[in-house]
Structure 1
Amino acid sequence: MKNEAIANALYEQGWCIVDDFIGEDFRMALLKEQQEILDHGQFRHAGIGKGDDFKIKPEIRSDKVSWMDHRLLTPLQSKYWAAMEELRMAINQRCFLGLRSFEAHFAMYPPGSFYLRHLDQFQDVKYRVVTAILYLNEEWDEGDGGAVRMYFPGENGEESNTDIYPKGGRLVVFLSGEIPHEVLPTRRERISITGWFRDIEY
């Protein structure tokens, strides 16, 4: 029922927040695996653009990422992939978006880091249709910063916005090409699995 509710919210308003999307034990195991990958030096500075246009621009985004390879998933990552596959099918059934694959990376924002306003779907990644972000942190207070601020069109051309804090186990899903957003500066290390449902095969 949870996936159907997400798909319905996506259809009706273009975004959705679900707390406790995964169990606490699974969240803690994923967080531990992320830390082990980080300790082994497998995170890289995130950039903007793709291919020859890829550039590292810390004045725009200052997070670090470790991409998951769908052919070489760990058991924990495979379990998460399976959950995303169920969600993909539910979204397709309700929204008719033709989602065909999923890609994801661990994302780590060190204290003081941020990501300025952007869309997840741009010229080089038009195949990203739906964004799905799962937060893995322990307890998180608003004073810790690091919220995703999502922007929405309002009346008379004025915008409204909503701040979503990275509470552990929380899943945020939204249409990649329609909702501008930014990550506000974080005061604590901020961990997530950031992924995208795509309308292309691997």
Structure 2
Amino acid sequence: MSDSDPVKGKYAAFFRGCPVEAELLLSDIDSERIFDSIADALTETGYIVLPAALPLGISDALFTRIASFEDDVFRPAGVGRAAEFQLNPFVRNDEIRWLSSGDEVEAQYLAWMEKLRVGLNRRLFMGLFDYECHFARYMPGAFYKKHVDAFKGRTNRVLSTVFYLNPNWAVDDGGHLVMYEDSVEPIAKISPLMGTLVVFLSDRFPHEVTTASRLRYSIAGWFRVNTNLGPHIDPPQ
């Protein structure tokens, strides 16, 4: 990885103290092949489900991280952004905690997503400039009703990601991600299996999380574009 690498620059403090294996991971040719697959799928269908996109070591570390949090680390998830934010347990009742590059484990995930951002911009010229994500914890009985992550022309979120952290998940455990497009019939029903990554266009696919019967963990994230034509960067929306 060269000194001019955008990922290394953004996470320089992390790389100064991280194991050599983490830096080798970010330059691994396998990541480029995965980015090729994601770019192709976004062009052809608008979404992709990858059963093992990230290295097992990162998945395991993220699971250990989220499973170790005390209850007061999480806050109830809401709907809407900024002034429109509100809690609505009839729509969703999961709990969240935003990721930060200040933690080494979380920084590895954010760095991989930064590589993906650069890779997709190079392949598809999407203009992605930022990524935000949070841990999500669904207690038994939790759900998230059908919704879209972005309305066309009304948000700067353009590409959604979901990464699952649930070892030994069974079909009967529920908590599926159900995706729709132009009909009432789902186009995909995805089990939240450990290490599975889902990437999809934010304004194209309504989706829901069915009721989970056991504790369910994930990381939900969004790549954003800057819709501000002036010198200022868009705030999160």
TM superposition score normalised by structure 2: 0.78
Q: Please name the residue that 1:126 is paired with.
A: 155
Q: Please name the residue that 2:177 is paired with.
A: 148
AA aligned to 1:11 is T
Q: Please name the residue that 1:162 is paired with.
A: 188
Q: Please name the residue that 1:199 is paired with.
A: 225
AA aligned to 1:174 is F
CA deviations over 1:26-77 (Å, ceiling 9, x no partner) = 212111111223x1611000001122221110000010000124xx531111
Q: Does 2:79 align with 1:48? A: yes
The correspondence for 2:62, drawn from 30, 55, 67, is 30
Identity of aligned residues (%): 38
Aligned-pair distance for 1:110? 0.6
AA aligned to 1:26 is I
The structure with higher relative contact order (CA 8 Å, sep 6+) is 1
8 Å contact kept, 1:11–1:94: no
Q: Please name the residue that 1:187 is paired with.
A: 213
The correspondence for 2:43, drawn from 11, 16, 24, is 11
Aligned-pair distance for 1:86? 1.3
Do the aligned partners of residues 125 and 58 (structure 1) sit closer, same or farther apart at CA in structure 2, a change above 3 Å counting?
farther
8 Å contact kept, 1:20–1:169: yes
Quick check: which has more Rg, 1 or 2? 2
Do the aligned partners of residues 125 and 112 (structure 1) sit closer, same or farther apart at CA in structure 2, a change above 3 Å counting?
farther
8 Å contact kept, 2:181–2:204: no
AA aligned to 2:127 is G
Q: Please name the residue that 1:137 is paired with.
A: 166
Cα distance between partner residues in 2 of 1:197 and 1:175: 10
Cα distance between partner residues in 2 of 1:116 and 1:193: 17
Q: Give the number of equivalent residue pairs.
A: 196
AA aligned to 2:176 is A
Q: Please name the residue that 2:92 is paired with.
A: 61
SS at 1:116 equivalent: strand
- Kindly report structure 1 stretches of 4+ aligned residues shifted beyond 4 Å: none
Aligned-pair distance for 1:123? 8.2
AA aligned to 1:137 is N
Unaligned runs of 5+ in 1: none
AA aligned to 2:135 is F
The correspondence for 2:134, drawn from 81, 90, 105, is 105
Do the aligned partners of residues 125 and 81 (structure 1) sit closer, same or farther apart at CA in structure 2, a change above 3 Å counting?
farther
Q: Does 2:133 align with 1:87? A: no
SS at 1:93 equivalent: helix
Cα distance between partner residues in 2 of 1:106 and 1:125: 25
Cα distance between partner residues in 1 of 2:176 and 2:200: 15
8 Å contact kept, 1:121–1:177: yes
Do the aligned partners of residues 63 and 40 (structure 1) sit closer, same or farther apart at CA in structure 2, a change above 3 Å counting?
closer
Cα distance between partner residues in 1 of 2:198 and 2:112: 14
Aligned-pair distance for 1:125? 6.6
